[in-house]
Structure 1
């Protein structure tokens, strides 16, 4: 999760187009929000969060093409979505479950935004399709 926030943060710095920069900054802020929520959840469970990140950041930043990097970031978002879908049925704490459901919904929105921007709708086997928000009535 922290790696995704770092990727979005560094990518935003590299962007010239203000609208695209803001859009990627929004994704970074969303990623940072969920990092904080997960840290608080871990602490509330009397565990100690680590500062360790995997290889995701290095792999993403090695991708020079911004569109391809954002697609890679989306793969990471989808990975998180799969993990959340598997985890949610096992979470008994109502508050934590609600937070994780909100995190899943936010990741789904971000995936849709990146897919729409890239003009793709990358479906992955075993992956729940992101839910588009209902149209206002």
Structure 2
């Protein structure tokens, strides 16, 4: 029973194959609904990234997330923003949001983000943010 449940969860949230005994169409509909819900959760954590991508947000997020199990909406948005930055596809609003996040928190891609205590800076897509004494300031906005 546990193995069948694991197969179903993998099919729903990690792009796994359809387990035997399940109809593909309803499973695909459930997968799409879960991706939309997940995109909404990430957009609440990363509103500028979602706004910067505009109408393309749902499709870009679904394409990125389809084969990745969630690590939580904060980390999913962070990982997506970093990947978009690497591809040169990060919009200016997303770059500014990423720079601010990286100035205020430390995230290595594996463990949960942790608050920075020392002065720090973040940089993404031309945007530069600094954090000092718990205050964050965007020194240079991203190129538009």
Flag the structure with higher helix content: 1
TM-score normalised according to structure 1 size: 0.38
Question: Larger Rg: 1 or 2?
Answer: 2
Q: How does the TM-score come out when normalised to structure 2?
A: 0.36
Higher relative contact order (CA 8 A, sep 6+): 1
